[in-house]
Each structure stands twice: as structure tokens, then as C-alpha cells.
Amino acid sequence: MTFLTGTFVSVAQAEEVGFWRWAFSFKRYKEVAPVTDPVYLEECGSCHFAYQPGLLPEASWRKLLDAKALADHFGENAELDDGTRQKLLDVLVASSADKSRYKRSKKIMSSLEEGEAPLRITKAPYFVEKHEDVGDEYVKNNSKVKSLSYCNKCHQRAKDAIFDDDTVYIPGTGYWTW
């Protein structure tokens, strides 16, 4: 029975990306899609880490990029002209977690309730579960980190959309080991 289950899962994965591409590719879409759009990197990345779109569903990005929401974007005025705002929304929606083929994005989506659209990545149940063993001494009470929202402070390859446990280095502490 295990063989059959594994076969069905593999067939489903193969159908999703195309059989030959799936069968002969070493890339299995493990993490989330990296950010490549220069407008997004400039507009959003100039103030904070340019979060990968695959970390939240489309509904979350739509709420976050609402014109009124940008006027008070987590305590900051992040207003954009309509053209730029629409360009960013298009980029975020196209690669949002609910449209992504990447494994971590799928895990984020499966952790959410139907219709749930968190405004913070740190509020997604998958994220909370992955960070439940990370105590305040490593984050909140660590002046070099301060908050879990600073992904790139500990995830050394966050910019490349790699959040693998092996790449976690907590400033002032060292490599994270479980």
C-alpha cells in the first residue's frame, strides 16, 4: 500500500510540472520562489526584507497592497502611485502561496483555514509551528535580531528564498541546532 501511495503522490507531482521536466529535474521546488522583480525589490526591499510572494496567499497580498492599508503599513506610510501599486500587486499575486508549485508555499497554504488571509507571515500557523522552539533569548531579547519578521537576520540564504534549517545562524549565538 505504501508503494501505491508513493506512486500516486509522484504521479500527481509529475502532472503538476510536466512529466519529463519532473522526472529528469533535480530541482523539486522545495522552498519558495525567489524574488526577481526589480520594482518589488526596490519598492518593498528598500524599507524591509523583500518577502517572497509565496509566503502568503493572494488574499493577504491584496489586503496588504490596498491603497488605504499602505497609508498605514504597520505604522509606516508606504503609499504608492496607482501604477506602481498595481505592478507590485500583479507580481505578488502571480507567485502567491495559493498559486505556487513550491513545497513550502503549499505547506503554508495547508496550514491556513479556508479563506484565512493573515497580514503577517509570522501569523501563519506553518510559520508559528516552525518557530515554536525559538525562544525569546534568540529573538526578542537579542538586539541583533529583535523580531521574527526579520527573516534574513537568522536565515542566511533568505534572500535566495532558502529557509532550510541548515542555513540558520542566530547572531550572537551561532548556528541553530535541534
Claim to verify: residue 38 and residue 98 sit in the same structural domain: yes
d(CA 14, CA 119): 33
Q: Are 96 and 107 in contact (CB under 8 A)?
A: no
Q: Give the residue from 74, 102, 130 where a domain finishes.
A: 102
Q: Give the residue from 52, 77, 102 where a domain finishes.
A: 102
Could you tell me the residue range of the domain that residue 20 belongs to?
Answer: 1-28
Claim to verify: residue 15 and residue 58 sit in the same structural domain: no
pLDDT reported for residue 177: 80
Taking the mean position of all CA atoms in its chain, how far away is CA 147?
16
The answer to whether residue 160 sits within a structural domain is: no
Q: Are 95 and 60 in contact (CB under 8 A)?
A: no
The answer to whether residue 158 sits within a structural domain is: no
From the list 29, 17, 40, the residue with the least C-alpha distance to 162 is 29
d(CA 63, CA 117): 8
Amino acid 8 reads F
Q: What string of pLDDT tens digits covers the 178 residues of the chain?
A: 544 444 444 444 555 556 666 556 555 578 999 999 999 999 999 999 999 999 999 999 999 999 999 999 999 999 999 999 999 999 999 999 999 999 999 999 999 999 999 999 999 999 999 999 999 999 999 999 999 999 999 999 999 999 999 999 999 999 988 6
Claim to verify: residue 18 and residue 81 sit in the same structural domain: no
Claim to verify: residue 39 and residue 73 sit in the same structural domain: yes
The answer to whether residue 76 sits within a structural domain is: yes
pLDDT reported for residue 88: 98
The residue with cell 501569523 is 123
Could you give the 3-state DSSP secondary structure of residue 83? helix
Could you give the 3-state DSSP secondary structure of residue 168? strand
Query: Computed from CA positions of residues 94, 96, 99, 101, in that sequence, does the dihedral angle turn out positive or negative?
Result: positive
Q: Give the residue from 54, 73, 102 where a domain finishes.
A: 102
Claim to verify: residue 98 and residue 45 sit in the same structural domain: yes
The residue with cell 531579547 is 141
Claim to verify: residue 17 and residue 60 sit in the same structural domain: no
Claim to verify: residue 4 and residue 55 sit in the same structural domain: no
The domain tally of the chain equals 2
Q: Are 134 and 153 in contact (CB under 8 A)?
A: no
pLDDT reported for residue 20: 66
DSSP state of 73: B
Claim to verify: residue 64 and residue 5 sit in the same structural domain: no
Cell numbers representing residue 63 in the block = 489586503
User: Considering the entire predicted model, what is its pTM?
Assistant: 0.82
DSSP codes joined into one string, 26-48: S----S-PPP--HHHHHHTTTTS
Claim to verify: residue 3 and residue 57 sit in the same structural domain: no
Q: Are 34 and 86 in contact (CB under 8 A)?
A: no
pLDDT reported for residue 93: 98
The answer to whether residue 110 sits within a structural domain is: no
